[in-house]
Amino acid sequence: MAKVKGAIVVDTERCKGCSLCVVACPLEVIALAKEVNLKGYNYALQVVEDKCNGCTSCATVCPDGCITVYRTKVE
């Protein structure tokens, strides 16, 4: 059965660390980084590599449009 795999890219300099994407992610693959960006915010990051299925929930709720989502089918 084909499996769906996804990945997200966060524009860490644009991110304001509101953590709405962390809550919106059904698979809990996003968390806030310990490091801060130039604005001083703890930015969001994909911390679990394998689990993301590219459902775009995080990107949809992101108020600043920082998240780009990719998805592909794996045989």
Partner 1 sequence: MDKQDIIKPENLVYKKPTLMNDNPMHYCPGCSHGVVHKLIAEVIEEMGLENKAVGVSPVGCAVFIYNYLDIDWEEAAHGRAPAVATAIKRLWPENLVFTYQGDGDLAAIGTAETIHALNRGENITIIFINNAIYGMTGGQMAPTTLVGMKTATCPYGRDPKIQGYPLKITEIAAQLEGTAYVTRQSVQTPAAIRKAKKAIRKAFENSMQGKGSNLVEIVSTCNSGWKMSPVKANKWMEENMFPFYPLGDLKDKE
C-beta of 27 vs 41, nearer to partner 1: 41
Under rule CB under 8 A, residue 32 binds partner 1: no
Task: Please answer whether residues 2 and 74 qualify as being in contact, where contact means their C-beta atoms are separated by less than 8 angstroms.
Answer: yes
Task: Please answer whether residues 72 and 2 qualify as being in contact, where contact means their C-beta atoms are separated by less than 8 angstroms.
Answer: no
Give, in order, the Cα–Cα distances in Å from 16 to each of 20, 31, 42, 44.
Answer: 10, 13, 7, 8
Task: Give the three-state DSSP class for 29.
Answer: coil
Under rule CB under 8 A, residue 51 binds partner 1: no
Report, in Å, the least distance between residue 51 CB and partner 1: 12
C-beta of 34 vs 50, nearer to partner 1: 50
Point out which residues bind partner 1 (CB under 8 A).
5-7, 9, 14, 16-20, 23-24, 39, 41, 46, 49, 54, 56-57, 59-72, 74
